[in-house]
Amino acid sequence: MSDILISAAKLVLPGHQHDGQIVDMLIENGSIREIAKSITPKGKDVQVVDAKNAVVSAGFFDLNSNFGEPGLETKEDISTGTRAAAAGGFTEVAIHPNTNPALQSRSEVALVVNAAKGNLVNVYPVGSVSKKREGKELAELYDMKTVGAVAFCDGNHSVQQAGLMGRALLYAKGFDGLIISFAEDESIAGGNQMNEGVMSTYLGMKGKPNLAESLMVSRDLFLAEYNEAPIHFTTISTTESLELIKKAKAKGIQVTCDVAAHNLVFTDDEVVTFDSNYKVNPPLRTKKDVKALLKGLRDGTIDAVVSQHTPQEIEFKDVEFHIAKDGIIGFQTVLPFLLRAGLTDEEIVSKLVIGPRAVLKREVPTLTVGEPANLVVFSTTEKWVFNAASNKSKSANSPVMGQELTGKVLAVVNNNQLIENK
């Protein structure tokens, strides 16, 4: 790869000596060679990234995304998934085990790790807690960790048996593993389609109450405390869950959590159109919940924002709302959604760069001279249209497809590779 000059970017990375300053950054052979107010490259073979009025920071990290491989490659494979991730500014992604077969043993985890080698985007498998994600028998967690699993979760299945979840927490603690909880009590949720509230009553649809989530959060917090084990809650969506987690943190329980970007900007009012692209799980909640989530981001209760990238084929989305599959493609819309929600440059970096890596105890790229370049360049003001031409995913299930969005990722650099969004 030719040398890269990132020109006139605002560097945002807490603790960096140039944090908040406008700088040029020269990258040679995949490593940062120089950072200064102005750099004149000596060689001719230099690729210039014009970052005027843009931000440069360490690459985004996604704690919750879904590829289809293995088994569901018609939704998304590793090649298209990493391409979409890069277009969204993510240089590292943790993919959940919603595959067929599930990422439930050494073989599936190793397959993903090996298939993803050589990409700009680092792919980290999240192994399943239970075999086949059925919540009945504990999977071989340690075996999966030895070949690359960074955490364990049953994906979009919540572990219903308290005893199994307790054993998983205790076992994983023994080898510094992390259990991720998708919190939903199925006996309360009832397989219903949207948030329970005024809108579900108006539309005559059975609703999924906040209690289905907060009840499971409460249970898993008790289990984590009892076993003195860390736990991470993914895609928290309710006021009550946040209050429980905030109190648990104050009490000293080892708990972290994240929120999906779309749950910060959309509410259940969107479902009035019966557009199945607004069908997600957890469902879109109320304005009160969205307000609480934004407050939780700012007061530190929520550690990270995730894409919950969930590609679906058209035959699973272009149908009646009640039979449509859950999920939206999220990689490329995380940045625009966070800007729409009112987050600053610093808050975006906190929740997409620093927070996610802290959850998994991974080092944040330092962006210092001599270190490998793992970074994103993004504009908070540039507008672009999310359509078939700009969409890098194999699927197209997004409620903002065809719309003009504000906030664009201009370039990502990692593993001695550069991808620009023209």
Report d(CA 377, CA 182) in Å as an integer.
31
Residue holding tokens 């009550």? 240
Q: Write out pLDDT tens, residues 35-65.
A: 999 998 877 789 999 999 999 999 999 999 9
What integer is the mean pLDDT of 389-418?
A: 98
Confidence label for 1 from pLDDT (cuts 50, 70 and 90):
low
Q: State yes or no: pLDDT of 311 exceeds 80.
A: yes
Task: Return the beta strands (E) in 30-158 as ranges.
Answer: 31-36, 46-50, 55-58, 60-65, 90-95, 122-127, 151-152
List the domains of the chain with CATH numbers: 3-56+369-420 (2.30.40.10), 59-359 (3.20.20.140)
Which pLDDT value is given to residue 12?
A: 98
Instruction: Give the helix ranges, DSSP H, for 147-209.
Output: 162-173, 186-189, 198-203
The answer to whether residues 24 and 11 touch, using CB atoms and an 8 Å cutoff, is no
Q: State yes or no: pLDDT of 177 exceeds 70.
A: yes
Q: Write out pLDDT tens, residues 346-390.
A: 999 999 999 999 999 999 999 999 999 999 999 999 999 999 999
Omega within 30 of 0 (cis) for the link into 97: no
Q: What is the mean pLDDT of the chain?
A: 97
The residues with which 406 forms a beta bridge, in sequence order, are 383
What integer is the mean pLDDT of 73-80?
A: 97
What integer is the mean pLDDT of 14-22?
A: 97
Q: Which residue has the higher pLDDT, 114 or 2?
A: 114
Report d(CA 389, CA 385) in Å as an integer.
9
What integer is the mean pLDDT of 12-21?
A: 97
Which pLDDT value is given to residue 192?
A: 87
Distances (CA, A) of 244 to 112, 119, 216, 238, 358: 35, 39, 11, 10, 21
Please state, for a pLDDT cut of 70, what percent of the chain lies above it: 100
Which pLDDT value is given to residue 44?
A: 72
Which pLDDT value is given to residue 191?
A: 84
Which pLDDT value is given to residue 399?
A: 97
Distances (CA, A) of 91 to 63, 102, 123, 220, 374: 12, 24, 9, 31, 7
Which pLDDT value is given to residue 54?
A: 98
Which amino acid is located at 343 in the chain? L
Q: State yes or no: pLDDT of 222 exceeds 80.
A: yes
Q: State yes or no: pLDDT of 126 exceeds 80.
A: yes
Q: Which residues contact 146 (CB under 8 A, 6 or more apart)?
A: 106
Which pLDDT value is given to residue 37?
A: 96
